Structure 1
Amino acid sequence: MSGPIERSRAAKRRNALPLRATLACFVGLAALGACSRHEAPVWQGYVEGEYVYLASSQSGTLAKLGVQRGQTVAASAPVFALEAVDETAARDEARHRLAAAQAQLDDLQTGKRPPEVRVTEAQLAQSEATARKAALQLARDEAQWRAGGISQAQLDDSRAQAASSAAQVRELQNQVRVANLPGRVAQIAAQAADVEAAQATLTQAQWKLDQKRVAAPAAGLVYDTLYRVGEWVQAGSPVVQMLPPQNVKLRFFVPETVVGSLAPGRKILVHCDGCAAEVPATITWVSNAAEYTPPVIYSNEQRAKLVFMVEAHPVMQDAAKLHPGQPVEVRLQ
């Protein structure tokens, strides 16, 4: 009797083993599911670059290209230069015209040169001596006329000579005073206006010349060069495409149930393929509009499809690790 009973008990034990294993698996999966529900959600996104296109406001042949694609340059580093023969000549001409206008203004403000004034003063001294001689001769002739020694006509000649000499002295005295005076107010004002116009022309010519040489507005990566040396570049046509590190940003998409909890200033962590460690970033913009809108009404199934764009910027030193178009995974820090 013991044989059949023992065989029955052994069969029950064998049947119970798969059931226990199955229950253990279900318990393990349930525990794993419970753990996964507590993990931070991960959202998909990509890296975006806001490029800076460097161009000149002037046309010309590309004379020098100082950077190469993939090169990192510092702020204010020379990037490219266009030929500037005409602009250099215009600058030099404007500079000389300004110097001439300024010299004329200085001449008007100082009056005649000292040697010219001394010539007039010498003529005045000679005229004064002649006037004194004429005055003495007139005095003698008047005495002779009273004594009856000369005629009335001779006395009149002496008087005319004395008056002429005195008038010449007064003329030269006025010339000396005028020679020491600056130009008239209206002349000086007109010449000062010419100086300002010449200065404005020089400033304009210098600006056009400076536009032929373009430097990097900020440190960054030379993403691409669009012209080769010797090619003609139209005014406003970009020659170099740059990507400063502050212009690297992240775009990722979150569901409608999460967007309300995100705001600028929130910290996130970014994972990308090839990155040795997660890159920290800060949310800078959250979209107010959904990327997908149902055609008629919001049903529960359609609301699950709503996603909102969020933008974030990494710290400057980590921006070089990210490349435009690179897919990333984002989670809250």
Structure 2
Amino acid sequence: MIIWRSTGPALCTAAVMTALLAGCGKMPSSSYQGYVEGEYLYLSAPQAGYLKSLDAPRGSRVVPGQALFAVATDPDAQALAEAEARTGSAREKVENLKEPRRQPEIARLQANLRAAEANLRLSLSRLRQQQALAERKFVSQGVLDAAVNAFDQATAQVEAARQELASYQSTFGRQAEVRGAEADLRAATALAAQKRWVVDSKAVSAPAAGEVAETFYRPGEWVPAGAAVASLLPDARRRIRFYVPETVIATFKPGQSVDASCDGCAIPIHATIDFIAPQAEYTPPVIYSRGSREKLVFRVEAAPGPEQAAALRPGLPVDVYLMER
């Protein structure tokens, strides 16, 4: 429970305190002054451009993923289209290299092989005839050499036609060419992804639920790269900050629950301590008196529950109580 700060007579305040304490059976410790603190997010686009739209004006509440603003994508959109076109061309090239030739082309090569084999048989027959005539001294050695040369050429043509047919029946190109085309495809895909990120990053959405605290540009204005266009106060980053004397700081621990009251608050604000400053707010002298030591205070921060955080306004004064169970 919380002890409410009242603007009425002291007697009324005492009566309310007595009633509350009797009802809950707990004794609060002394109150500590503090305020609500907001930790803002300053949202920007990594690329410069003209502000195209401001989808969430200041003061509006947003949910995660809701559009906040967008920067014009020209000429990055054209660069993305070019990169995607190059990616498609590289993909078609890889698929073409991996697939076998068309059937009419293979039939043509098979016919070429049959013609080369027929020519080889004819060359062999002529060679035998010339050899028989050369043995009887009916032809000169030059005629025999020409027949041998024709046979060798026919043999080479058959082998060339056979190898070409085998290549067309498997895949077009060698494996090294396929790997090179696949590398080109990966490079084009990476470039397209980079261009797509540039375009997508110019449309900024809310990373968390909260309130748009301020906007710094209007549609049509030039926004430099990295310049904040809007500030967002997430509900989860509204905190209660208060100060505790050094005489009692040892009684505060992370994870402890505290209650806070404020002017106009209808119900207590429940929060959980999650940070205690490791040192005092100001640097004391190396040797100081007991009187100066009593002035030391430590900053303590507590996170309110999500159901109450959205209603807290930064700068709102609060009185915090550490409830003793």
Work out which of the residue numbers 109, 130, 135 in structure 1 matches 2:119. 130
**Counterpart pick for 1:319 among 292, 295, 309:** 309
Question: Counterpart of 2:247 in 1: which secondary structure?
Answer: helix
Structure 1, 270-279 or 168-177: larger mean CA deviation: 168-177
**Residues 1-333 of structure 1 aligned to structure 2 (within 5 Å):** 40-110=29-99, 112-136=101-125, 145=133, 151-152=138-139, 156=144, 161-182=150-171, 183-292=173-282, 294-295=284-285, 297-333=287-323
CA contact (8 A) 2:243 2:297 kept: yes
Q: Could you tell which deviates more after superposition, 311-320 or 300-309?
A: 300-309
Please tell me the residue identity of whatever aligns with 1:258: V
Letter in 2 for 1:80: F
In the comparison of the two structures, how many residue pairs are matched?
299
- RMSD after superposition: 3.0
Unaligned runs of 5+ in 1: 1-27
Q: 1:286 to 1:164 in 2, by over 3 A?
A: closer
Q: 1:330 to 1:178 in 2, by over 3 A?
A: same
Between the aligned partners of 1:112 and 1:300, the Cα distance in structure 2 is: 95
In structure 2, distance between residues paired with 1:324 and 1:79: 22
The two structures have a TM-score, normalised by structure 2, of 0.81
Identity fraction in percent: 38
Distance 2:115 2:174 in 1: 29
String of CA shifts for 1:66-110, please: whole Å, max 9, x gaps.
101111111111111111121111111111212222333333334
How far apart are the structure 2 equivalents of 1:240 and 1:135?
89
The answer on whether the counterparts of 1:142 and 1:155 sit within 8 Å (CA) in structure 2 is no
Partner of 2:4: none
Task: Output the CA distance in 2 between the equivalents of 1:79 and 1:321.
Answer: 21
1:128 is displaced (CA, Å) by: 2.4
After superposing the two structures, state which structure 1 stretch, 108-117 or 86-95, moved more.
Answer: 108-117
Q: Rate the CA distance shift 1:306–1:142 in 2: closer, same or farther, 3 A.
A: closer
The equivalent of 1:15 in structure 2 is none
AA matched with 2:292: Q
Of 158-167 and 180-189, the range deviating more from structure 2: 158-167
Q: One-letter code of the match for 1:226? A: F
The 8 Å contact of residues 80 and 192 in structure 2, kept in 1 or not, is answered as yes
What is the CA–CA distance in structure 1 between the aligned matches of 2:240 and 2:61, rounded to whole Å?
21
C-alpha contact (below 8 Å) 2:257/2:270 kept by paired residues: yes
Shift of the alpha carbon at 1:58? 0.6
Q: Which moved more, 1:155-164 or 1:166-175?
A: 155-164
Does 1 or 2 have the higher relative contact order (CA < 8 Å, sep 6+)?
A: 2
